[in-house]
Amino acid sequence: TLAVVVSSMANVSRAVSNLEAHLQTRLLNRTTRRIALTEAGKRYLLRCEQILAYVEEAEAEASDAHSRPAGQLKVHTMTGIGQHYVIDAIARYRKTHPDVTFDLTLANRVPDLLNEGYDVSIVLASELPDSGFVSQRLGITYSIVCASPGYVKTNGTADKPGDLLNHACLRL
């Protein structure tokens, strides 16, 4: 809401005179007993009221944007995370926020967020590249290396992580 505070009738009179000079037209007919809008004044007042209504509507929309999310989110996530967690999370989110739509990409790579236009990327990474982006740790994952006795007998064991490159691995 807009409010105008005026300290005196003299200030009001001066402000109206300045406005009339700026517009190069009379807005008010003044007599000693009465002040009335001219036709130009009526049209100007109507247009100003419309503008103020648009401003109030824009303010309401902007305020509503904070309280009621809407629009599209472009999201990237690693395939496994997306299939096991994100798809269900999106479905639950859409139940309470139906005005939000998602463009979801499942890919096992770290995307170029800026050039590919992603709003959010959920990745498995021990460290992220230094950038101006905001990152948030969502959790910690643990890896366990397992092998059947038959596989170990045939292929041997891995003594260090790099040895896994020479083994047939299944990542879950």
Q: What six digits make up the tokens of 112?
A: 């170029």
Task: Look at the domain 71-141 and name its fold.
Answer: D-Maltodextrin-Binding Protein; domain 2 (3.40.190)
Predicted pLDDT of residue 139: 83
Please give the order of strands across the beta sheet that includes 100-106: 100-106, 71-77, 120-122
Q: What is the pLDDT tens value at each position of the chain, 172 positions in all?
A: 555 665 788 888 888 999 999 999 999 998 888 999 999 999 999 999 999 999 999 988 887 766 778 899 999 999 988 998 899 999 999 999 999 999 999 998 888 888 899 999 998 877 776 677 788 888 887 778 889 999 999 999 988 888 888 898 887 6
Per-residue pLDDT of 70-110, as tens digits, reads 899 999 999 988 998 899 999 999 999 999 999 999 998 88
Q: Do 50 and 62 contact (CB within 8 A), yes or no?
A: no
Q: What is the structure's pLDDT at 153?
A: 94
Sequence ranges of the chain with CATH classification 1.10.10.10? 9-67
CATH class of 9-67: mainly alpha
Residue 121 backbone dihedrals phi, psi, to 5 degrees: -135, 130
Residue ranges, comma separated, of all CATH 3.40.190.10 domains in the chain are: 71-141
